[in-house]
Chain A
Amino acid sequence: MQQFLESFLPAGPLVVFVFSIIPLMIILVYALFAIWLERKVAGHIQDRLGPMVTGGWHGWSQTIADLLKMIQKEDIVPAKADRFLFKMAPFIAFAASYAAFVAIPFSSGYIGSMIDIGVFYIVAITSLLSVSIIMAGWASNNKWSLLGAMRTAAQTVSYEVPTVVTILSVIIVTGTLNLMEVTEMQTGNAFLGFLPNWLIFHSPFMVIAFVLFFIASLAESHRVPFDLPESESELVGGYQTEYSGMRWGLFMLTEYADMLLLSLVGATLFFGGWNSPFGSFMDGPVWGAFWMLLKGMLLVFVMMWLRWTLPRLRVDQLMNLCWKYLIPLSFVNLVLIALWELIF
């Protein structure tokens, strides 16, 4: 990819710049689409239509109109807020989520950085998100914001454990933390004759690992049923309460970017990343990007689907689920996968 860009762009820094903003472009376009899709999914699940007017066909440009509106909004900083932290928080949130995309292999031809500790880096850098949320909640000088931030801290710290343990159980199979190598491992025509050589089909315990990972990733990205930090209906938006205009929009963007990030990690670890489901058919760098994003979007869709199905958990239920079910299960699963690897 870098060589390809260097072939028609002159200077070195420019190539690096273009190279590094490709995920940003993907995230922005995806966020516009995903917010529209979310509203459509919400609408149709509730037997409504969702946005229908803006832009003509099924209100496709509703998000663009919302974005334009948001940019024009007044940037309000509460009088008794900590101005510096308050203004910084949304940027740190988005930076944390964007930085994680470096280690995602979008296709066989594009990965931000071939670092060997890919998954570990992603897990580590996304923790910064909870720091930014606590920053936002604390700097707002508002009880609801602070409550939301405290919930986030508790939630993120708790759910990082099952996430990391399930990722670890996948790493036992792959033997590498580099996501590009993990994906390349899953290249291959077929497993058991007809299934693609994806890790989810590697052993029955991988299915359990995926379910655990998916639940934990829902909690990590603060989606329903784990959206306690925001909980519009009880905390009036949680840590976002005092934010308005584009700063609030950045939090929104971060949430959606986070969804995509965790879906892409899930797709890479369990569903073969940029590999085509049809073996060598429709394979290649461009098709790779297509498959990767399609798999990611399917998981994002499942997240939306769940959002409009399940009610929000209580704080104690959230902790119950994590510490009494997810963590023990993920550890048992880790041991079972390790045994499977030893035996077969």
Chain B
Amino acid sequence: MVKALTDIYTTFKSIFTGMGITFRHLFTRSVTVQYPQQRDVLPERVRLKLHVNIDDCIGCRLCERACPVECIEIGTIKSTDDDDLGETSTGHKKRLWVDQFDIDMAKCCYCELCVHPCPTDCITMVEDYEYSAYDRNDLILSFSDMTPEQIEEAGRKLEEEEEAKRRKKEEAMLARKKKEEAKAAAGEAGGEKPAGGGTGEASKDSDAESSRGADASGSGDADSDAEKAARRAEREARRAARKAEREAKKKSED
């Protein structure tokens, strides 16, 4: 009986306490954010969506390698010698065409690991969270600004350049071979009949030419030899210039 009465008392006490609390909350300000009209202020370092400033991208693929879920896909084409891609805003020289920079936001796990390795700070997280799509493929963001024609052009130019280089190399090899053959032939000739003939003279000529330097050009083994010698000289000059530059720099630093 006493227990029943105390039970009744505690029941009503707790019910009225509860009702008091709910009544207070009935008039407290609600915490709802009326989303499309109102928006919360986002924290400073939110990770919501990746953005790439493609003008600054040097195509180093560090972000692609850092990504744990492999959602970044980068394609690059080497630029040719006559193309100048300019520099990034951070002063890096751009040497590669970035013909593909796709980020699959459906795969992205928002870890931000790709952002930190970037040497030019061109990949960043931006404050955009309203990019849901009906098709999964719409979540693949393509940042490359190259048109298919440009990509084709870049690829063709690279191919041409490589072709040209290869041809040059081949020609050089061929020339060296010929020269060696000629030398061998000359040696043979010298051995058989000393105080040489036409070939001996020719070889002498070419030696003279190579020691003199550059300009003679035409056809035949003498010419190819001359070319080679010219290139060697050029290279040496460049090396010397670089060495001088380095030394100058060192001096100025000291």
A305 in contact with B22 (CB, 8 Å)? yes
Q: Is A203 an interface residue (CB 8 A)?
A: no
Whether A157 sits at the interface, judged by CB under 8 Å, is no
B61 to nearest A CB, angstroms?
Answer: 47
For B32, the chain A residues whose CB sits under 8 A away are: 47-49, 52
- Whether, in the assembled complex, A278 has its beta carbon less than 8 Å from a beta carbon of chain B, the answer is no
User: Is B4 touching A48 in the complex (CB atoms < 8 A)?
Assistant: no
Residues of chain B within 8 A (CB-CB) of A308 are 22
| Docked-complex contact A48 and B31, CB < 8 angstroms | yes
* Given known A-B contacts A310-B15, A325-B4, A45 and B31 have beta carbons under 8 A apart: no
Check A309–B15 contact: CB distance below 8 A.
Answer: yes
Chain A CB within 8 A of B34 CB: yes
- Which of chain A's residues 82-100 have a Cβ closer than 8 Å to chain B? none
- CB pair B28–A47 under 8 Å, yes or no, is yes
Contact A45 B4, CB 8 Å, known A309-B15, A309-B19, A310-B15: no
Check if A41 is an interface residue, CB within 8 A of chain B: yes
A305 to chain B minimum Cβ distance, whole angstroms, is: 6
- At the interface, yes or no: B193 with Cβ under 8 Å from chain A? no
Chain B nearest CB from A57 CB (Å) reads 14
Cβ contacts under 8 Å, A325 to chain B: 4, 7-8
A305–B23 touching, CB < 8 Å: yes
Task: Judge if A324 is at the interface, Cβ distance under 8 Å.
Answer: yes
Which residues of chain B have C-beta atoms less than 8 A from A306's C-beta?
15, 19
- Do A47 and B31 have beta carbons less than 8 Å apart? yes
* Residue B25 interfacial (CB < 8 Å): yes
Of residues 118 through 174 on chain B, the ones whose CB sits less than 8 Å from some CB of chain A are none
8 Å CB contacts to A: which residues of B1-56?
4, 7-8, 15, 18-19, 21-23, 25-32, 34
Cβ–Cβ contact A309 & B28, under 8 A: no
Check A309 against B31 for contact (C-beta < 8 Å): no
Q: Does A280 contact B (CB under 8 A)?
A: no
> Given B4, B8, B18, B34, which contacts A52 in the complex, CB threshold below 8 Å?
B34
Given known A-B contacts A306-B19, A309-B18, A46 and B8 have beta carbons under 8 A apart: no
Question: Which residues of the other chain, B, contact A55 by a CB distance below 8 angstroms?
Answer: none
In the complex, how many residues of chain A place their beta carbon closer than 8 angstroms to a beta carbon of chain B?
A: 16
Chain A residues positioned under 8 Å from B25 (CB to CB): 44-47
Contact: B18 with A45, CB < 8 Å?
A: no
In the complex, chain B residues whose CB is within 8 Å of the CB of A43: 30
Chain A contacts of B29 at CB under 8 A? 47
Dominant secondary structure of chain B at its interface with chain A: helix
Cβ contacts B160-200/A at 8 Å (1 or 0 each): 00000000000000000000000000000000000000000
Q: Which chain B residues lie closer than 8 Å to A49 at the CB level?
A: 30, 32, 34
Cβ distance B12 to chain A, nearest Cβ, rounded Å? 8
Report Cα–Cα, A306/B19, bound state, in Å: 7
- Asked whether, in the complex, the Cβ of B18 is within 8 Å of the Cβ of A48, the reply is no
Q: Closest Cβ of chain A: how far from B242's Cβ, in Å?
A: 71
Chain A 10-49 residues near chain B, CB threshold 8 A: 41, 43-49
Complex Cα distance, B22 from A308, in Å, reads: 7
Give A328's nearest chain B residue, CB to CB.
B4
Partner of B30, one of A41, A47, A309: A47
Please give, as numbers and ranges, the residues of chain B lying within 8 Å of A47 by CB-CB distance. Answer: 25, 28-32
**Closest residue on chain A to residue B20 by CB atoms:** A309
How many angstroms between the C-alpha atoms of A44 and B204 in the bound complex? 105
**Docked CA distance A48–B31 (Å):** 6
- The closest CB in chain B to the CB of A321 belongs to B11
Q: Distance in Å from the Cβ of A15 to the closest Cβ of chain B?
A: 44
A44 lies within 8 A of B34 (CB)? no
- From A41, A44, A52, name the one whose CB has the most chain B CB atoms within 10 angstroms: A44
Interchain CB contact (< 8 A) of A44 among B7, B18, B21, B30: B30
Considering only residues 293-320 of chain A, those with a C-beta below 8 Å from chain B are 305-306, 308-310
| A 139-171 binary contact with B (CB < 8 Å = 1; else 0) | 000000000000000000000000000000000
CB distance from A124 to the nearest CB of B (A): 30
Contacts of B21 in A (CB 8 A): 309
Nearest CB on B from A309, distance (A)? 4
Chain B nearest CB: distance from A272 CB in Å? 24
CB-CB < 8 A to B18: which residues of A? 309-310
Docked complex: B78-93 residues within 8 A CB-CB of A = none
Residue of A nearest to B7 (CB): A325
A-B contact pairs, 22 of them (CB 8 A): A43-B30, A44-B27, A44-B30, A45-B22, A45-B25, A46-B25, A47-B25, A47-B28, A47-B29, A48-B31, A49-B30, A52-B32, A305-B19, A305-B22, A305-B23, A305-B26, A308-B22, A309-B19, A310-B18, A325-B4, A325-B7, A325-B8
Given contacts A45-B26, A47-B30, 4 further A-B pairs with CB under 8 A are: A44-B25, A47-B28, A48-B31, A325-B7
Chain A positions near chain B (C-beta within 8 angstroms): 41, 43-49, 52, 305-306, 308-310, 324-325
Shortest 8 CB-CB contacts between residues of A and residues of B: A49-B32, A309-B18, A309-B22, A45-B22, A49-B30, A44-B26, A47-B30, A47-B31
